[in-house]
Amino acid sequence: MRIQKKCLYCGKLLTGRTDKKYCDLHCKSAFQYKKAKESPVRFYNKVDNQLKLNRRVLKEYNKGGKVTIRGQVLLESGFDPNFFTHYWKNKKGDVYLFVYEYGFLKTSERGKEKYVLVTWQDYMAK
């Protein structure tokens, strides 16, 4: 006895195994893709994707180990300073926020927002 009579994606009549749901691999793949696009983005995926983007942007602009860059440049690249993995506080009391091994400190210079970009160092672990 057949459970599904028609392909779930294209609606073609199915032949072959009785528990078959799709007529071929294309329909199976297309159905799964459509289903995934219709489902809401999970919160975890949103956070993980933003962390990955932040890391990629910080890595791209921090070639020298310590760099100062205009805030607008980072934000236009998709960087969101609200997403970070951990922080480090230096002896002066400045709190650097890190996205994995790349850190940033938001500062203001002559009324313009800037970011100091750093790379995690061994002495920061103490």
Instruction: Kindly report the average pLDDT of the chain as a whole number.
Output: 92
State what percent of residues in the chain have pLDDT above 90: 73
Radius of gyration of the chain (CA): 24
* Six token digits for residue 118: 């750093």
Pair (75, 117) in one structural domain: yes
Average pLDDT score over residue span 89-97: 95
SS3 at position 100: coil
Give residue-wise pLDDT tens across range 30-62: 999 998 888 777 888 889 999 999 999 999 999
For residues 79 and 112, state if they share a domain. yes
Question: Do 89 and 118 belong to one domain?
Answer: yes
> How many structural domains are present in the chain?
2
Read off the tokens for 23. 């007529």
Q: What is the pLDDT of residue 125?
A: 85
Output the pLDDT for position 41: 73
- Together in a domain, 11 and 59: no
Tell me the mean pLDDT in the region 91-97.
Answer: 95
Whether residues 54 and 22 share a domain: the answer is no
Q: Domain range holding 121?
A: 43-125
Cα separation, 62 vs 126, in Å, equals 23
